[in-house]
Structure 1
């Protein structure tokens, strides 16, 4: 599939399936407006929504309630939050058809929008104090450390943890306006930025829903992709996604992205606490994505890329992405498998590839393309005694190849030009179980 086609498919998928639609945007806008009035405009919406990177379904919203200038000796927000809590209960104008449930914690007021016993949406109003200015001359803030935690149970658990430890809530530096400014500027110059982030977030969310130990944070994803677009503002969605997954092993090797508000902290600091099993889970998901992306020419749809399947690759298997080569086919070619007899072509293998074991096959191009070189991959069934997946330049590793091990195998040929796979072809090889040997 040529690059413009796959770019458009990815963009269309994000538009149709991930981006908040007009109903979603109106819903969030009405809710936020209802609080700006209540808070006398002393507030700012934070999180992925004002950075244009939120995906459906929308669940929550964080609002900073700005209480004034930071004073390190006097910053107890409980009085202000108690007044806000009473004000919400008495005066809040609910713009939705849902019932409202209001709760007060030491460092936040939560407003939940309920349909019976089901929470549809929630807003956390969190106190903030103006602390400094960033390079854009926008305010930075001191905020409660609970903002590092996700909405809902994670924050409730954090409150409980503080109570058990007898510890007061800490305050951290935060620069939401800076992150919003950077995201807004990048998005104005190239709206593939937000689509790239949304697509990878959707991929990660599918694994989080399936595996409790999948510990990749959405904000981390966004910042990794932000770095790419800051380095190359003309990046297209395919390139951003492909590069994200290529670089994932290094991205999760150590914390390396400093917090805008505090250069002594890393926004990806959580990486160092991951277990080896959790790291392996992320890498297996990454391998699955890239192997599927490499196969999109044959039988993979865009939505297949987001399925939470793990791929435990064998040490013997190579992929083009190991060499940082994307598959962006722009033309077609065919290969043929010829069964050999006395060193000569005897019979051509059918496309279905059924063949007895104990024979020899020579693979060759039938219709080639304009390219720098041809690479060949012999992929044996993972369940056979001798699984393979080696990629070699010029021809298959063995010429001819032997049909020793029963199973569903295939041979692929890749036309490589300027570091891109511009065409590929596959020949199936299905070896029958006629003896106790395996392919």
Structure 2
């Protein structure tokens, strides 16, 4: 198969949300909607009590979500009388509204973890498909926007505009014969594979801006070989220092609250693809091990006992995770692996390695995070010794290893919260004899 066929198979068979998965989520949502309709519209005779007043938004609503999505966003429209009731509260009426909606939903899912905080009521499902429904109780405005509660800083009301965003995504999908959606899905797979936070609405907006700025409207799979690297080039030229971007369709502000992490990652990927000597291998590094899975050379890439986190948990990267490592050896001063890598140094054998997560402050605020590690030995010596490894093993926030034999090895760490990989990091471990 050639690259065109690999992209077609990947975008059409691997990336889209499967019908069975979508139906399972919709069944859950129907039960929640039915309960809320009976609570807040007791005198209304709806045509469909299981779907009226509930709007699927976010990536699923825009049609740009990928398979094994673990974040299902929706808005439930409440009557104006409910707004009037909670807006009169002398305290944080927004918080009281979320708590009331939470208690109503809990009557349908009494043994499920439900939390009302920030702007949403989150319902966490651990059974397959695992993930979270984030329900926003909101009030429709005369222009189609929605007013919703924000419990932070004493409480306030905010406005969201999902309808024009969904409309614009549909327009772009129709105009490009679905390739706009493919590009949005590819970028989601890229960020989940490479482990960094990149907001879904910003992804869709960046793809829209790229197509508009480059004057691209009519294209097909045969153009991907050129357009995909250029998309990463476009992302790499974004200004990391800007405060926000304007969302497609709605012009809502998308805050830059992670210092434009995607910009540096895009630069790395663009350079990888631009200078590639093995494009299939490098696209697998970009989009994960399911890309070009039917290529005959794949059997030479996966080690005999190697495991992949995508085959164990849903991936929804929400946090940035970076690794470092303390290097020690008797008689030598302790140093960091990042220090070695920044200078292009290789490690000698017989050194002690203690890996750890740099930004633990963020992850430590979450209760119940589990950590899994993967050590992958690469090279002729690892193959000769039958020690390529690659198994994924549960551990703590730290991992101890030793440098044993030469090769360009790597270590990965995955943070799993409520059955979902929310962060992942990787660091190279080059060992010379």
Q: Which gives a bigger RCO, structure 1 or 2 (Cα 8 Å, sep 6+)?
A: 2
Q: Which runs of 5+ in 1 are unaligned?
A: 134-138, 146-158, 209-213, 309-381, 384-439
Measured after TM superposition, the shift of residue 247 of structure 1 is 0.9
From 131, 145, 158, the equivalent of 2:141 is 131
Asked if residue 234 in structure 1 is aligned to residue 231 in structure 2, the reply is no
Measured after TM superposition, the shift of residue 266 of structure 1 is 3.3
Change in 2 beyond 3 A, CA 1:67/1:206: same
The 5 Å alignment of 1:227-266 reads: 227-230=209-212, 231-236=215-220, 238=224, 240-255=227-242, 257-259=245-247, 266=253
Match of 1:149 in 2: none
From 18, 21, 24, the equivalent of 1:24 is 21
The 5 Å alignment of 1:10-409 reads: 10-40=7-37, 41-68=52-79, 74=88, 76-91=93-108, 100-105=112-117, 107-115=119-127, 120-133=130-143, 139-144=144-149, 162=152, 167-189=153-175, 190-208=177-195, 214-230=196-212, 231-236=215-220, 238=224, 240-255=227-242, 257-259=245-247, 266-267=253-254, 269-270=256-257, 273-274=259-260, 280-292=264-276, 295-296=278-279, 300=281, 302-306=283-287
CA distance in 2, matches of 1:88, 1:215: 30
Measured after TM superposition, the shift of residue 222 of structure 1 is 1.5
Change in 2 beyond 3 A, CA 1:104/1:65: same
Measured after TM superposition, the shift of residue 188 of structure 1 is 2.7
Measured after TM superposition, the shift of residue 236 of structure 1 is 3.2
What's the CA shift string for 1:117-167, capped at 9, x where partnerless? x9922212222222352xxxxx1122345xxxxxxxxxxxxx8xx5xxxx2
Change in 2 beyond 3 A, CA 1:233/1:32: farther
Change in 2 beyond 3 A, CA 1:8/1:175: farther
Whether the 8 Å contact between 2:168 and 2:249 is mirrored in structure 1 is no
Measured after TM superposition, the shift of residue 180 of structure 1 is 0.8
Measured after TM superposition, the shift of residue 105 of structure 1 is 3.7
CA distance in 2, matches of 1:232, 1:282: 20
Two-structure CA RMSD over aligned residues (Å): 3.7
Measured after TM superposition, the shift of residue 78 of structure 1 is 4.6
Match of 1:327 in 2: none
Whether the 8 Å contact between 2:241 and 2:260 is mirrored in structure 1 is no
CA distance in 2, matches of 1:58, 1:35: 19
CA distance in 2, matches of 1:78, 1:303: 45
Counting matched residue pairs gives 265
Measured after TM superposition, the shift of residue 67 of structure 1 is 2.4
Measured after TM superposition, the shift of residue 35 of structure 1 is 2.6
Q: Which runs of 5+ in 2 are unaligned?
A: 38-51, 290-343, 346-433
Larger Rg: 1 or 2? 1
CA distance in 2, matches of 1:143, 1:85: 15
Measured after TM superposition, the shift of residue 79 of structure 1 is 5.0
Whether the 8 Å contact between 1:173 and 1:261 is mirrored in structure 2 is no
CA distance in 1, matches of 2:53, 2:130: 26
Secondary structure (helix, strand or coil) at the match of 1:286 reads: helix
